Amino acid sequence: MALGYVLAVLATLASGSGSILESMGVRRAGAYGGRSLDLIALRRQWLYFLGLGVDMLGFAFAAAALHRLPLFLVQSMLAFSVGVTATISAFMGARLRASGWGALGVGAIGLILLGVSAEPGPAQALPPQWRWVLVGMTVPVAAIAVYSRRHHHVWATVALAFGAGVSYSVVGISARTLELPDAVWRLVLDPAAWSIVLNGFTAAVLFAMALQKGGPTGVTAIMFTTNTVLSSFVGLVYLDDHVRDGYAIAAAIGFVLAIAGAIAVAHYAADTRQKDLAATPAGTRV
């Protein structure tokens, strides 16, 4: 089980770092705050694709961890990549007020409580029809992208980040329930494998669109909060994940602290960024 924790930590670091690299790529491409079609310019930004590569490496670590640890534990640790993103952003010059760092600490405590409350064990197999439902989740999530292309208010950013979180949670659920066959080529016959590919692609597109409209810390906070909540619920209710005996209260407190901390970090980071932009002459903004 120790290897599972190591893999989950590596996945967390990779996810947080990948978010920063992708955000830098979006800004260097001049796509930030523009139209969705402006994202085509990302094809010339190696930083963005490096970020995607780091994210894919993080997914590989997470998928390996999911074969050793319950979904709700791995996903809650991945949610801490919000803290990784915020910390890296701070080292790069972005300012986060003391209240934001405090909120980050509260969220970290909550995630730790969630992590120690999880009972390791194998996942319950999903019936074939439910695996196809996971594949079909790409349709309603893609509809969010269509809606957000036509709207530019703040809720469009929230919807995109939420949709990315839903897709990533489906990826996690699919990875948790994926049964590795003796012959690798048989993976093409498994709906869970298709779900991972299609939902992963959809999540990456929505995440890029969300970064175009909002800051990396706020977008990442919404995405991973959605991912953690939805994945934990499905894991506990349908995949036979368990809370350790005697840890139910700790798990409940951890859940509240983790969600509250993530939302607060997103708020303080967005508020700081808006003040910085307001204080910067228009000709010098990047």
* pLDDT, greater one: 124 or 160: 160
* Residue-range definition of the domain harbouring residue 247: 2-284
Listed residue (172, 228, 208) closest to 40, CA to CA: 208
Q: How far apart are the C-alpha atoms of 263 and 125, rounded to whole Å?
A: 33
User: Does the structure show a pLDDT above 90 at 153?
Assistant: no
Listed residue (235, 221, 231) closest to 16, CA to CA: 221
Domain tally, the chain:
1
DSSP structure string for 3-47: HHHHHHHHHHHHHHHHHHHHHHHHHHTT-TTS-GGGGGGGGG-HH
**What is the pLDDT at residue 163?**
92
Task: Read off the pLDDT of each residue in 17-25 and give the average, rounded to a whole number.
Answer: 79
Q: Could you report the per-residue pLDDT of 43-68, keeping only the tens digit for each? A: 666 677 888 889 889 888 988 888 88
Q: Could you report the per-residue pLDDT of 179-219, keeping only the tens digit for each? A: 776 767 777 878 888 999 999 889 988 987 887 777 766 78
> What is the chain's mean pLDDT, rounded?
79
Task: Read off the pLDDT of each residue in 13-17 and give the average, rounded to a whole number.
Answer: 88
Whole-model pTM: value is 0.75
Q: Could you report the per-residue pLDDT of 96-105, keeping only the tens digit for each? A: 777 778 888 8
User: Does the structure show a pLDDT above 50 at 280?
Assistant: no
Asked whether the beta carbons of 254 and 111 are under 8 A apart, the reply is yes
- Half-sphere exposure of residue 22: CA atoms within 13 angstroms, side-chain side: 29
